[in-house]
Amino acid sequence: MQFDIVTIFPRMVDAGLAEGILARALKSELLRVRVRDLREFTDDRHRTVDGGWPGMVMKPEPLFRAVEAIRKDGGEPDAVVLVSPQGKPFTQAEAARLSGLDRVTILCGRYEGIDDRVRESLVTEEISIGDYVLSGGELPALVIVDAVARLIPGVVGDEDSVAGDSFSRGLLDYPHFTRPAEFREWKVPDVLVSGHHGEIRKWRKRQALELTLDRRPELLIDAELDVEEQEILRELMERKKGAAHGRD
């Protein structure tokens, strides 16, 4: 899979690709990322990317030229993504969808935004990573690439761990512990050192459901639950209902 990222701060994106899972994915060629400096597609000596009108809006010409160069290099991208507060929320399901594409272009905005002709005639979709304001699209682009890369077979060594990540099935993840079994006055839950794999599995399911019900109950509407999880959830909801009645 290949990402083409268009930005006026290529070194900012390069730095995010230089460590960890993304660096390993690039080295193994399971993932390809080409960072394009938008200023290389300007036509004036000042390499101007904004239109100069009040509000510092990014000009359409360099962005169109950048995407046209991407098309010339490797054909039409499967998606031209603008990271934007107006975009659809980026979720694990969206990451999975994008991971099934061969080539994705991401446009990183700056200043007050991008000339709307880019949005109307060049961009195929807009994505937002959250309801807050950032200085530009470089960090959201890296978030998207990281989340998608984890779903490419071979990028993460233990693919079972990816399947169990938070949001993969619509649930938050269960708590994790490691050695030592006792640290200061805090101990790992007894069930996790019991050696009873069935009980450990059930404990993890219960913890994930309890956390989700407490913190993100809306996720449970579309969560993929097996029979055992459905029974655990019914029990948790009955207990929660009983506790609420007890406070009345």
| Catalytic annotation, residues | 85, 112, 150, 165
Q: What is the DSSP letter of 217?
A: G
DSSP-derived 3-state class of residue 91: coil
Q: How far apart are CA 248 and CA 244, in angstroms?
A: 7
29: left (phi over 0), alpha (psi -120 to 50) or beta: left
Would you say 42 and 31 are in contact if contact means Cβ atoms under 8 Å apart?
no
Strand spans (E) along the chain = 2-7, 32-37, 57-58, 79-89, 103-107, 113-114, 125-128, 182-183, 186-187
